[in-house]
């Protein structure tokens, strides 16, 4: 009985658990399927993986466009300094857009193509691009729907993941705007550039069309956060902290390109390499660590001292805890659950009849008429109470039971507990 | 093993790594010094092998009272010993204080006193005495395994006699017994059938009890006086089966039965009847038979104290075999049980006619007052209350039926709430005694 009641919560818990598992699993799979910009293959012209972009790079080369791969923002700035170039920013969230959007950054006439820039990345720039609404769960295929020649030539393409305000093409997913001599294009999704999606719809034509307007494409292929580090206090590092000074400093990060490395850090720091000790360990004096070790040992000794008991606990043979009326209450709940109103009332009426006949000194099988005659009541009244209607609901049952009890108490004159 | 003092000593060395120039050697030094002290302490701590334990004190106590036992520890080793000691009893023995400490010179002995306030009747054993020998610095101690400690523990069992709440109605019942006996009021014939003495007639005596033959011899009117029969047998049968394990109010049903049986036994002993006891479920759990009037009662009480309800169906056929042995004399058999339908109809009823033919049988069942309370509706009942009342009425009806069936088979049935149960049983006994039907 108790185990069944203990398991009743499972009826609620199991459907919810299944639902929660399904939703969580879907979310996890969805998150795992999303390409990660920090993945080295993501839209890289040198990668032939599904999320790479080697096919697009090959197509551009076949059309006579030079593809220059740069792995840092500083390198990309240097490579576009000659002018007449398209800068493809595959990971706007990781690239240093702030530096690109400065007035002394890119030369005028440079075309910038941003792949799926989110509002967080756009907020770091002065460019008049604003994301419109949240991103969609999947990329939608949209018709061009505008007069842009590249879009019209490409036709429907899978660009509809992010939308930008005031963008006419692809229902807002492709925005081309000019700012300070730059032509900036924001594409709403990375799908047109990916190896595994480039052949679908008009994806290839759109991507190639956007990039083939100039003779050179500078492909900014960064997969770690390429943000300018805050100035270091040491004067020696500050002297090398001017990446725009010349192309020589701009080339160095392309060689190292280690993830997590700020790229523009001082050469002295970089020389220490992997032998660099844990900075947390050096931040505190060894005396602190020694004290902590001693404190740990003291606590361990305290635990060991408390662990050994002076005698283990003693078990008690317990008596039974079953109350005498347990079966009776179980029956009562069974009647109630089965809505056995008639049966319950019959039992009460039979008990009342026994009590009344015993009180009046009648034989055991006395009829209602005998009882009414002996007690001095109307026969119909007594019959109504002791053999009356069948209760259809709980209210009728309660009133009928009350009437039975009142009759017994009136006839026997007994008010307290029954014998 | 180490004590808390060891940890405190380690903690006291905490500032040293910060103060000394070389922190890590300082940690090692603290550890070395403290561990060395603890090792010396452990080696100099007295051995536990030389401890000898002895126990004396109370063997029995009434439930609700407090008993004391004394544990004497003698150091037969050749070294001073500082002892930590824990005297473990079962929790229902209510033992305290939990731990003691003793300092014993070689050859000396010390005594610790454990106070026991039991919470249940029955046998409450002392389980284990655990010994621990501390070193002089208190940094480390010796303590042996649990089995070794159990081995050196002197066995001791405190028998807790059951609570006897109906003690307070005992004087009233004894007074009624004396009335019957004729010591307070002498009223002619009646109150017994056994001839007592002849005495002179006084006005008010029943003329029917005048002994004419004796009057002729004495030249005076002499009447016979009577008194109740003596040396009758009262056989208390306690059912310790599953129906005795359930709780009526806050105590097992068996406790109420033991209380009533105690009252009956005391009363019968005062009335110079012999009291025997049989407790059984599937086997005989306690049996007290024979012996003189005066020694019988303490034995009965002692046997009742150790009774525990067992979760088995009572074998009334065993009761039949016990009571129908050929050498049994006629007795008043009082069966303390529960008037539940199944065990009564299937168990007791088949053997009851033969029992009633041989003995006078009383079946006494403790009733749950909650049933009668639930059978009557409150002023504003709900449907659930009505169903509960119906279930309670059904129980009452079945109990009435069992009572009728048992009565028809020749038994006198006593069916009362736990509060009045003992008094009702005693009343039936007194009535039978007064009317000479024992």
Q: Per-residue pLDDT tens for A255-287?
A: 444 444 444 444 444 444 455 667 777 778 888
pLDDT, residue B74, reads 94
B143, B248, B386: residue with CB nearest A398: B386
Range A290-325 burial, b when 16+ CB lie within 10 A, else e = bbeebeebbeebbeebeeeebbeeeeeeebbeebbb
- For residue B163, give the nearest of B124, B123, B120 by alpha carbon: B120
Tokens representing residue B19 in the block: 């103060």
Mean pLDDT of A165-170: 78
List of chain B residues with pLDDT < 50: 183-190
Distance CA A319, CA B157 (A): 19
Give the nearest chain A residue to B128 (CA atoms).
A311
Q: Which two tokens stand for residue A386?
A: 């002791």
Q: Establish how many alpha carbons lie within 13 A of residue B85's alpha carbon, considering only the half-sphere containing its beta carbon.
A: 28
Judge whether A353 is closer than 8 Å to chain B, CB to CB. Answer: no
Number of helical H runs and strand E runs in chain B: 14, 20
Give the C-alpha separation, B421 to A248, whole Å: 109
From A144-158, A318-332, A397-411, B163-177, the region with the lowest mean pLDDT? A144-158
Span B51-161 CATH architecture? Sandwich (2.60)
| Nearest by CB: B17 against A287, A314, A343 | A287
What residue in A sits closest to B149 (Cα-Cα)? Answer: A311
Report the C-alpha gap between A181 and A105 in whole angstroms. 12
Q: What is the pLDDT of residue A311?
A: 85
> A179-183, A338-342, B277-281: lowest mean pLDDT where?
A179-183
pLDDT in tens, B46-87: 889 889 999 999 999 988 899 999 999 999 988 899 999 999
pLDDT at A415: 52
The answer to whether B397 faces chain A, any CB pair under 8 Å, is: yes
Query: Using a CB-CB distance cutoff of 8 angstroms, which residues of chain A are in contact with residue B393?
Result: 347-348, 350-351
Residue B143 to residue A287, Cβ atoms within 8 A:
no
Task: Name the nearest CA neighbour of A56 among A193, A179, A159.
Answer: A193
CATH hierarchy code of domain A54-220: 3.40.50
Whether A335 and B397 have beta carbons less than 8 Å apart is answered as no
* pTM assigned to the model: 0.60
Domain ranges of chain A: 2-26, 54-220, 332-412
**B233-434: what fold?**
Rossmann fold (3.40.50)
Contact B105, B75 (CB under 8 A): yes
Asked whether A210 and A187 are in contact (CB, 8 A), the reply is: yes
pLDDT of residue B6: 93
Q: Please report the pLDDT score of residue A166 as a whole number.
A: 77
Asked if A294 and B387 come within 8 Å (Cβ–Cβ), the reply is: no
Backbone angles phi, psi at B99, to 5 degrees: -130, 150
From A340's Cα to the closest Cα of chain B, the distance in A is 8
Contacts of B132 in chain A (CB under 8 A): 310
pLDDT 10s digits, A67-115? 888 888 777 778 777 777 888 888 887 877 777 777 667 777 788 888 8
Of A330-334, A388-392, B267-271, give the lowest mean pLDDT range. Answer: A388-392
Q: Is A171 helix (H, G, I), strand (E, B) or coil?
A: helix
Q: Which pair of structure tokens corresponds to residue B397?
A: 């009806």
Task: Output the pLDDT for position B187.
Answer: 42
Touching B: A residues 288-307, CB under 8 Å: 288-291, 293-295, 297-299, 301-302, 304-306
- Smallest Cβ distance to A305: which of B2, B245, B377? B2
Angle at A125 between CA A120 and CA A129, to 5 degrees: 75
Instruction: Give me the residue label for tokens 């500078």.
Output: A218
Long-range contacts of A262-266 (CB under 8 A, 24+ apart): A262/A229, A263/A72, A263/A74, A263/A226, A263/A229, A264/A74, A264/A228, A264/A229, A264/A240, A265/A229, A265/A232, A265/A237, A266/A232, A266/A234, A266/A236, A266/A237, A266/A240
Residue B353: what pLDDT?
92
Contacts with A311 (C-beta within 8 Å, 6 or more apart), sequence order: B86, B88, B128, B129, B130, B146, B149
CA-to-CA distance for B351 and B335, rounded, in angstroms? 13
- What's residue A69's pLDDT? 84
Give the residue from B86, B311, B379, B386 with the most A CB atoms within 10 Å of its CB, the best one to mutate: B386
- Do the chains contact at A294 and B13, CB–CB below 8 Å? yes
Segment 367-396 of chain B within 8 Å of chain A by CB: 368, 370-377, 381-396
Residue A146: burial class (beta carbons within 10 Å; 0-12, 13-18, 19+):
middle
Buried b (16+ CB within 10 A) or exposed e, B362-380: bbbbbbbbbbbebbbbeee
Residue in this structure with the two tokens 């900014």, named with its chain if needed: A220
Query: Cis peptide leading into B97, omega within 30 of 0?
Result: yes
CA atoms within 13 A on the CB side of A251: 3
CA atoms within 13 A on the CB side of A92: 29
β-strands A157-160, A66-70: how paired? unpaired
Contact: B23, A394; criterion CB under 8 Å: no
* CB spacing of B386 vs A289 below 8 angstroms: no
Q: Can you tell me which residue has the tokens 């109990």?
A: B399
Cβ neighbours of B3 in A, within 8 Å: 305
At residue A228 the predicted structure's pLDDT band, cuts being 50, 70 and 90, is low
Tell whether A415 lies on the interface with B, counting CB pairs under 8 A.
no
């Amino acid at each position: 009985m108790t185990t069944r009641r203990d398991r009743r919560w499972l009826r609620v818990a199991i459907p919810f658990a299944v639902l929660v598992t399904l939703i969580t699993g879907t979310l996890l799979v969805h998150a795992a399927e999303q390409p990660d910009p920090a993945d080295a293959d993501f839209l890289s012209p040198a990668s032939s993986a599904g999320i790479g972009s080697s096919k697009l790079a090959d197509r551009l080369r076949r059309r006579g466009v030079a593809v220059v791969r740069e792995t840092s923002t500083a390198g990309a700035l240097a490579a576009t300094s000659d002018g007449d170039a398209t800068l493809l920013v595959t990971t706007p969230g990781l690239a240093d857009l702030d530096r690109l959007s400065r007035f002394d950054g890119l030369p005028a006439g440079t075309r910038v193509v941003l792949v799926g820039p989110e509002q967080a990345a756009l907020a770091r720039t002065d460019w008049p691009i604003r994301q419109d609404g949240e991103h969609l769960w999947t990329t939608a295929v949209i018709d061009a729907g505008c007069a842009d020649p590249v879009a019209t030539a490409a036709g429907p393409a899978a660009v509809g993941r992010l939308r930008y305000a005031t963008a006419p093409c692809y229902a807002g997913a492709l925005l081309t705007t000019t700012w300070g001599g730059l032509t900036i294009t924001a594409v709403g999704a990375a799908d047109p550039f990916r190896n595994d999606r480039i052949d679908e719809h008009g994806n290839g034509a759109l991507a190639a069309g956007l990039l083939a307007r100039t003779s050179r494409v500078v492909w900014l292929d960064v997969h770690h956060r390429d943000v300018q580090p805050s100035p270091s206090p040491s004067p020696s590092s500050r002297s090398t902290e001017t990446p725009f000074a010349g192309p020589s400093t701009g080339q160095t990060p392309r060689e190292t390109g280690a993830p997590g490395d700020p790229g523009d850090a001082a050469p002295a720091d970089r020389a220490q390499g992997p032998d660099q000790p844990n900075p947390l360990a050096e931040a505190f004096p060894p005396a602190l660590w020694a004290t902590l070790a001693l404190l740990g040992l003291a606590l361990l000794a305290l635990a060991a001292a408390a662990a050994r008991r002076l005698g283990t606990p003693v078990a008690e043979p317990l008596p039974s805890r079953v109350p005498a009326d347990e079966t009776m209450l179980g029956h009562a709940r069974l009647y109630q659950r089965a809505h056995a109103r008639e049966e319950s009332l019959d039992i009460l009426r039979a008990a009342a009849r026994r009590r009344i006949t015993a009180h009046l000194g009648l034989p055991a099988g006395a009829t209602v008429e005998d009882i009414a005659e002996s007690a001095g009541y109307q026969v119909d009244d007594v019959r109504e109470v002791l053999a009356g209607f069948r209760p259809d609901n709980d209210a009728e049952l309660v009133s009928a039971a009350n009437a039975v009890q009142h009759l017994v108490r009136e006839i026997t004159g007994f008010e307290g507990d029954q014998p | 093993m180490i004590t808390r003092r060891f940890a405190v000593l380690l903690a006291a060395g905490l500032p040293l790594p910060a103060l000394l120039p070389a922190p890590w050697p300082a940690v090692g030094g603290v550890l070395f010094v403290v561990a060395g002290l603890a090792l010396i302490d452990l080696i100099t701590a007295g051995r536990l092998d030389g401890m000898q334990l002895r126990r004396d004190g109370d063997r029995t106590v009434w439930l609700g009272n407090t008993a004391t036992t004394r544990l004497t520890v003698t150091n037969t080793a050749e070294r001073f010993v500082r002892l930590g000691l824990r005297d473990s009893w079962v929790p229902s023995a209510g033992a305290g204080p939990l731990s003691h400490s003793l300092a014993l010179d070689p050859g000396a002995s010390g005594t610790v006193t454990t106070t026991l306030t039991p919470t249940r009747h029955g046998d409450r054993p002392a389980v284990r005495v655990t010994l621990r020998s501390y070193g002089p610095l208190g940094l480390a101690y010796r303590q042996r395994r649990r089995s070794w400690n159990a081995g050196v523990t002197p066995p001791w069992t405190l028998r807790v006699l059951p609570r006897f709440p109906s003690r307070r109605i005992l004087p009233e019942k004894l007074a009624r017994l004396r009335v019957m006996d004729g010591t307070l009021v002498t009223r002619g014939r009646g109150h017994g059938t056994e001839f007592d003495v002849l005495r002179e007639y006084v006005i008010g005596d029943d003329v029917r009890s005048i002994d004419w033959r004796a009057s002729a011899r004495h030249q005076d009117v002499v009447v016979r006086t009577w008194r109740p029969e003596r040396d009758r047998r009262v056989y208390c049968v306690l059912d310790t089966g599953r129906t005795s394990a359930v709780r009526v109010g806050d105590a097992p049903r068996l406790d109420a039965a033991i209380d009533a049986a105690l009252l009956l036994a005391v009363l019968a002993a005062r009335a110079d009847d012999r009291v025997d006891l049989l407790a059984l479920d599937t086997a005989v759990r306690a049996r007290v038979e024979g012996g003189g009037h005066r020694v019988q009662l303490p034995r009965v009480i002692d046997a009742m104290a150790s009774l525990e309800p067992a979760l088995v169906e009572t074998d009334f056929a065993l009761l039949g075999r016990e009571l129908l042995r050929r050498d049994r004399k006629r007795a008043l058999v009082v069966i303390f049980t529960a008037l539940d339908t199944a065990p009564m109809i299937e168990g007791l009823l088949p053997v009851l006619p033969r029992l009633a033919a041989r003995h006078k049988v009383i079946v006494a069942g403790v009733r749950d007052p909650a049933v009668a309370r639930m059978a009557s509706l409150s002023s504003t009942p709900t449907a659930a209350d009505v169903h509960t009342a119906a279930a309670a009425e059904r129980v009452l009806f079945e109990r009435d039926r069992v009572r009728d069936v048992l009565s028809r088979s020749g038994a006198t049935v006593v069916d009362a709430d736990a509060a009045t149960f003992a008094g009702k049983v005693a009343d039936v006994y007194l009535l039978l005694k007064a009317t000479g039907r024992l």
